[in-house]
Chain A
Amino acid sequence: MSELELHDQADVAPGDEEEVRIGPRLIGYGVGLGLAILLTATSFFVAGTDLVWQPSIPVAIVVLAIAQMGVHLVFFLHITTGPDNTNNVMALAFGVLIVVLVIGGSLWIMANLNHNMMPMDQIMQMQR
C-alpha cells in the first residue's frame, strides 16, 4: 500500500486503528481492559449487595452493561467518532435501531397483552 493511499483515504476498516505505533496501541487495549474489569466487577457487586436501594439495582445493571459495551466498541473494536469512521458508525447506529425496536417492541406488546388478556384458566372455562 503506497504512502499516499494510507494517508489520503477517507475511510478506515472496522477494527482497524489509525494509530500504528505499538506503545499507544498497547496502552489503548490496556485502558479498555481496565475499564471493562471495573464495570464488570461493579455490576457483579451491585447484583449481590444489600447496600443500595433494591429497586435501583436492575437499572444500574443495565446502565453498567451499556457502558461496558461502549468501552468494548471504542477500545477493542476501534469504532470511534473520527470522520473516517462515519460509515462504520452509521451501520452500527442502524443495527442499534433495529435491536432497540425488536427488544423494546416485544416487551411493550407482550406487557400489553398480559395486561389486557383474560387469565388463561378463565378462557379455558369459557370454551367448555
Chain B
Amino acid sequence: MDMWEIPFLICFPLVVSVLMFCIRINKIRNAVAYVSAVIIMLMTGVLTVHWGMNGFAPAEFYVETELVDHFILGAEILLMLVVTFLSFKYNRPWVSLLSIVPTAVIAWLELEGPELDAISHIKVDHLSILMCIIIGIIGSLIVIYAVGYMHGYQHYHTEIPDRRYYFFMILFIFLGAMFGFVLSDSLLWIDLFWETTSVCSFLLIGYTQQEEAIHNSFRALWMNLLGGCALCVGIVYFALDQGTASLSVLVEQGTGQAPASVQVAIALIAFAALTKAAQLPFSKWLLGAMVAPTPSSALLHSATMVKAGIYVLFRLAPAMSGNMTGTMISFIGGFTFLSASIMAIAQSDGKKVLAMSTISNLGLMVACAGVGRPETIWAGCFLMIFHAVSKSLLFQDIGATENSLHSRDVEEMHGLLYRLPVLALFMFIGICGMFLAPFGMLISKWAALKASVDENNIILVFFICFGSATTSFYWTKWLGKLIAHTNRPPVRDITKKNEMISLSIHAVLMLALCILFPFLSSVYVEPLLMEMFSESNQVISNNVLYILIILICFFFAVPFLAYIYEKNVKTNKKLSYMNGINTGKNDAFMGSMGAEKELVLANLYFKDICGQRKLMNPSIAITTAVIIIMMCMIIASALGGGMI
C-alpha cells in the first residue's frame, strides 16, 4: 500500500510557498493562494478517505529514506543559518546559540553517530489523521480569509511595508511543516518540522518589523527554541541509548517499566511540548504574538502551532500515565487553565482575551494529556476539535471587526449586534461555542472533571471547578456587551466576501459539530483510544450522549420558540430608569446640576485584583519552580534507579 497523498501534503505547500514568493502581482498570487488552499483541503479529504478505505488501520511507510534524510539535515542547517543571521541582525546573538547547539548535536548523530535501527518514518493513525483534518480544513480556511484580510490590512496600515508575498510564503511553509510534523514517526524528522514551525511563527510575529513586533517575535523564538533544545537532547539521548529514533517505540517502551533513557527522553519532550503549547511559564510568547496580523494569530492559536504541543503530549500520554512526568504535566496544565482564565477577566482588548483563553484551554488539554488515561484523552480530543473551530472563528471575526470598527476593544463592542450584525452574530456563536451548555467545550470539560476524579487527581479537580467558574465569567460579560442595546449608528461592514465565506463555514461547522458530537465519539474518537491504549472507557455513556442531543435541539429551540411566541405579545415600551431624568433615548440623563450627561456602561475587569501585572510574575515563578524541581526529580530518579 502506498499513500501518495502524504508526501503531496507535505511538499505541495512548500512548492506553493515558493510560488507565493515569486509572484509579485497581487491578483495572480491571490488566485494561486485560493486554488492551493482548496487543493490542500481536498487532499486532506482524499487522504482521509483513502486511509478509511484501507480499513482505518494504522499504516507505516518509508523505511528507506537515505536521500530524504540528507535533505532533512540540509533543511535543518538552513534553518539554523536563518536564525543565526536574524539574531545577529537584530542584535540578539545569544538566541542563535539555542539553534546552533541542537542542530550541531542532531547533525553529529546523523553523520557520526551509531547506526540506528531501520524504522518507518511516516506513520498514519487516527490521531495523525485527526490533526491533518484540523490543519487541512482550518488552516486552508485561514489562508482564504487571509487573502481578503491582508488586502484590507495593508490598505489601512499604510506605515507597514507591503510584503504579502513573504507573508503568504511563510503561511504555506507553516502548513507543510505542520502536516510533516503530525505524520512523521521518526523523531529526527519531527525535530526538523518542530524547528520549522518555531521559526515560521517567529517570522510571522515579526511581520510588521516594528520595535514591539521584533521584541515579541524574539521572545517567541527563544522560548520555542528552548523547547527545541530539550526535544533535541531527549531525542539524541534516547537514540544513543536505545539505537532507534522512533516516536512509537519511545511511547511503547515508556509504558510500564521504562529504561532510564526513555523516562528522561519523555520528560524532556513533554517539557518541549509545554513551550509549544504556551503553558506557563512560557505563556508570554503567545500573548506577544498578538501584534501580528490576525490571520497569523488565528493560525498560531487555533489550528496549528499550539496544537502541535498538544499533539505531542497526546502521543506521549500512555507513557505519562501515573508517573512523575504525568504529574508535572497535569499540574502545569491545570494551573495554567485556572490562572490564565483569571487573567482573562482583566483584559478588555478582545484579542488579548482570546489569547488568554487559548492559553487557558490549552492548559486543560495539557492536563488531560498529563493524566494520560483513555477518559481524559477522550475529553482532550474533543476539547481540541471544538477549540480549533471556535477559536479560529473568533480570531477571524475579531480581525474583520477590527477592520470595520477600527477597534478591537470589548468595551467598544457595546451593542455590536445592532451596529455590525453579521460579524456580531458570528462572534456570538464562537463565544457560545467556547463555554455554553449545548456546545462541545462544556461537555468536554465535564468529561475532564469526571475523569480527573476517577484518577484521584485532587488538585486538577480544584483547578477545573474554579477555572470553569472564571471562564464563564469573562465570556458571559463579553456576550452581554454584544447584545446590550445602543443608539449608536451602524458601522459600514467592509468585510470581504472571502472572509465571509471562511467565517460562515466555521460557524456552520461549529453548529454541525454540536449535533454530530456523539457520532464522532463512537466512530472516530473511540477507535483512536483503542489504538492508543488498547482499551477505551467512555467517560460519558452513549445513553447520556443521546440525552444530550435531545437537549441540544431543545436548547436551540427554546429561545427560538420563545422569540416567536413573544413577537406578537403586545408590549408597552418604557424608558429605562436612570436615577436622573432619562432624556428620552436611553443613552443620556439629566444630572443633578441640570446638565445632560451621556450614559456610559462598562464591564467589570478587576484589573487591580487579577490583572496580568499582578498575577503573571507569581504564576511564572510558581510554574518555573515546579518544572525545575520536578525535572530534577525525574532525571535523578531515572538515573539513580528509583532511589528517590
Q: Are A and B part of the same complex?
A: no
Residues of B participating in the A interface, judged by any CB pair closer than 8 Å:
none
Residues of A participating in the B interface, judged by any CB pair closer than 8 Å:
none
